[in-house]
Every structure is written in C-alpha cells, then in structure tokens.
Amino acid sequence: MATESFPEFATGPDDSDFPQDKLFILFIPTKTKDGEPIQSPEVWVDEAAGMFSELFGGATEIAAKGCWKNPETGKLIREDVMLVQSYTTAELGLDSSSLNTINEFCRRMGNETSQGEVGMVIDGVFKRLSGF
C-alpha cells in the first residue's frame, strides 16, 4: 500500500532511530490442558496487557478461537483464546529483564491454569514454554 494512502503516518514523527519492529503475541487460554474451563481468564488478559504496557508502552487484546491436540490424551481441545500483543524496539524486547518478566508471567499462568504449554510468538517465531 502506498504511503499516500496514509499521509498522516508519512508526515508524523520520525521513529527511524527507534523502530518498534519487534512483535510479541501471547496466547491466553480459557481451558486447562484437559479441556476444563479456566476460572476468570480475563484476569490473565488484563495482567498480560498491563505487563506489556509497562514493559513496552502498550498492548492490544484480540479475541480468537483455537484448537490444539493434548499430546498426553490425544484429545482435541477447542477454545476461545485471547491474543495479547505488543510492538517494541529490539532494545526493549530482547532485554534480559523484559524476557525474564515475560517468562515468569508465562510460567505462573501455565502453572495456575493447568496448561501443558504456553504459546507465544516473538518476532515471528512461535515459542512453547512447558514444564510447569
């Protein structure tokens, strides 16, 4: 799409020194690994959005539907999920402090919501965290 379609973006502040070109997407579940509903999944959505906002300056929540296969039982689990995403700079996003904060959140969420894995996309690469 040509820049002329969005002239206000083309003439806005120049962020070229600090491009927010790293995208983090965290999948927030509504069911356990056994397909049971999670109590109050919106609490995890709010906490994830707050975490990304504190770390990177903002976050967007997107409702989606997902399906995955439990490797232990072979059962397909269909669920509503929320995607919480945030753009950031490489400096902030790949900082060890930021990554540690995200890791701790994902491990706590995985444990407290009885997940087999927690999924996240970091800069176009899907990552799985397990062993809670």
Residue 5 has pLDDT above 70, yes or no: no
**Mean pLDDT for the chain overall:** 87
Domains of the chain and any CATH numbers: 19-130 (3.30.70.120)
Sheet holding 117-122, edge to edge: 60-69, 76-88, 22-28, 117-122, 125-130
Of residues 118 and 17, the one with the higher pLDDT is 118
Give the pLDDT of residue 62: 97
The β-bridge relationship of strands 117-122 and 60-69 is unpaired
> pLDDT tens-digit profile of 48-101?
999 999 999 999 999 999 998 888 889 898 999 999 999 998 777 778 899 999
Q: Could you tell me if 89 and 98 are in contact, meaning their C-beta atoms sit under 8 angstroms apart?
A: no
Give the pLDDT of residue 2: 52
> Which residues neighbour 110 within 8 Å (Cβ) at sequence distance 6 or greater?
117, 118, 129, 130, 132
